[in-house]
Structure 1
């Protein structure tokens, strides 16, 4: 059951039953009923859309045969652990080629009829019900079992004849020993020949490595290094150094001497360039630089792929993750799925940060709008207060004018009537 869950991701229900001895069943017939779904269960607890092909009509026989073999292995392991020499096999008599005949599956009804017949046979002859007969299938199986028993008895007789063959086997053993000695001598000769061949191949490999190492210094360009050429030289150097033949710098070329006439005429001599030679440390440093450059390129490409992945919506990412999980159950894990899992994890973290940033911005915007509304309200209240104060001053002026009129104070008609002060929004 654990194997079914692990291999197919399905739900498995197992019910272990003891033998139904009271019904006439074999007291060894401990058995289990195992039921399971034909569809895998996803991480969300839902059924997958497709059924397993292993459970179909076309592939079901092969799958059941695999289960039978696995169960036989489990039983034999337990028998071995308890020290039993008994073993079981999932193969039929035909597949075992043991010469025994296979019986026919009787089924529930035939088994019940057999048991009724056997119970009737235990009664006295006069009390037996003659209508209860042994089923033909059960009778045929009994005949097959008898023939198999007779065959087993005959095999015991044949085993006795095997003792007579032992003497012949001793003679054959001596002949086999002589043949083994001859084979050992032949194997020793082959070993010597193989050793010589390895020595020749090693000698040729060293010669090829020396030639490539010699040519390397003439074609190597440190400004535009060739990766394959650099790694080949490092491998050749290791092989040559192992046998004490690593490349050495060539002897310096002597510069030509001026002739008497060239000295008199003051001619300049061209210097002869020294043959190029690069130390192994320089080559290894170049290989390291190439690897670091390739690693940077790979990181840059991965970053570009990640930036492209971050443009997906969460629903698209969920769909991609479901596809990856489906592949892991059907075709196995792919090399790119590890990076995909990393991208999915980063995308969800990034998306949460974006959502949190949007919420923070909205909250800040709401606070700003509330502050602005409060300011506008306070300013409107201040303006109304100024208007009330202006109206009060105007009313005081009118009252003063009316009092003057009542006392018959002469009024200067040329004096202008005071006007209300203009509204000043900046007045406290």
Structure 2
């Protein structure tokens, strides 16, 4: 079965239990992210090697685990577009988990998954030896110690790492010396400024206060204008809302007048009693649905009743006129 391997360098500052918990926590995150199965193996430093080389090997399936077995392949780590960013994300996750564990156990050491160049550190990174070179160097070191001779790297990578460490030590020493020189020069410059710029500082303080006062004045003026603008917008919004409510009330009033006039005479009183109830509670409910509230409902009722009264008078006149029409064939003085 094909597997994907993750090799984790465990912080030597933590004890065995904490290192195991840290490795399992990372494995759980991988399982949850990709839906795979994982196996964790913890390794202690080899005899004669670096006593800080605690590490873990995590093997995961290359396919997702489903209820009935293995499913589709997890190709996100293999694809050209997604593999690099995904691996970078896993490295960042591991660094974060390590640093959280170190901080939780009050250890000063911290881990950064980025290269020296990305961190802005002017150091040359060392080469990864690998298992073969590490074994050769371990045996060579043991042989040199047995002979009582100083250890000198044997493989090319180990020799190159020794050279890079020496260069890094020199660079750090130069940086320390430069930093000390810069601090000394800065202290001298500060002393000179303190002795000769008191007047300038006073002038700057006065100018700074004036600038601050002017900025405060401008800020207050800006706030005042903004409040006026908001107030004008609120007033305009109220006027617009009032106009819309008045227009709706007019349309409703005309509609109500037409509706009551179209009703049979015996149904009009019931309609008016339903739309304009005399009971205070029922009337309040009706007023709540009116665009202009209670005052609008009162005004509407007056207008509707007035229009109805005029309409009823017109109906009476029309009825009277119909009754005065003469009946043909029965003489000029007979009316229907």
Does residue 139 of structure 1 match 2:153? no
Question: CA 1:25 to 1:56, structure 2 compared with 1: closer, same or farther past 3 Å?
Answer: farther
Q: Contact 2:153 / 2:159 at 8 angstroms: preserved in 1?
A: no
Q: What is the match of residue 3 of structure 1?
A: 29
Question: CA 1:45 to 1:4, structure 2 compared with 1: closer, same or farther past 3 Å?
Answer: farther
The 2-side partners of 1:201 and 1:168 are apart by 52
Q: What is the match of residue 26 of structure 1?
A: 50
The 2-side partners of 1:90 and 1:135 are apart by 27
SS at match of 2:110: coil
Aligned residues: 228
The 2-side partners of 1:183 and 1:30 are apart by 61
Per-residue displacement from partner, 1:244-302 (whole Å, max 9, x unpaired)?
xx9994795998xxxxxxxxxxxx8689xxxxxxxxxxxxxxxxxxxxxxxxxxxxxxx
Does residue 200 of structure 1 match 2:224? no
Relative contact order higher in (CA < 8 Å, ≥ 6 apart): 2
The 1-side partners of 2:103 and 2:115 are apart by 22
Q: Contact 1:213 / 1:247 at 8 angstroms: preserved in 2?
A: no
CA RMSD between the two structures: 3.8
Q: What is the match of residue 53 of structure 1?
A: 76
Per-residue displacement from partner, 1:38-75 (whole Å, max 9, x unpaired)?
33334x34433353424434422222211111111122
1:231-246 matched pairs, under 5 angstroms: none
Question: CA 1:54 to 1:119, structure 2 compared with 1: closer, same or farther past 3 Å?
Answer: closer
Gap runs ≥5 in structure 2:
1-26, 253-291, 304-308, 313-336
Q: Contact 2:38 / 2:61 at 8 angstroms: preserved in 1?
A: yes
The 2-side partners of 1:94 and 1:112 are apart by 29
The 2-side partners of 1:4 and 1:180 are apart by 56
Q: What is the match of residue 334 of structure 2?
A: none
1:48-127 matched pairs, under 5 angstroms: 48-124=71-147
Per-residue displacement from partner, 1:285-322 (whole Å, max 9, x unpaired)?
xxxxxxxxxxxxxxxxxxxxxxxxxxxxxxxxxxxxxx
Shift of 1:199: 0.7
Question: CA 1:50 to 1:80, structure 2 compared with 1: closer, same or farther past 3 Å?
Answer: closer
Does residue 38 of structure 1 match 2:49? no
The 2-side partners of 1:90 and 1:182 are apart by 50
Per-residue displacement from partner, 1:371-409 (whole Å, max 9, x unpaired)?
xxxxxxxxxxxxxxxxxxxxxxxxxxxxxxxxxxxxxxx
Q: Contact 1:210 / 1:247 at 8 angstroms: preserved in 2?
A: no
Q: Which has the larger radius of gyration?
A: 1
The 2-side partners of 1:85 and 1:189 are apart by 49
Does residue 12 of structure 1 match 2:32? no
For structure 1, which segment, 144-153 or 48-57, has the greater mean C-alpha deviation from structure 2 after superposition? 48-57
Q: Contact 1:38 / 1:55 at 8 angstroms: preserved in 2?
A: no
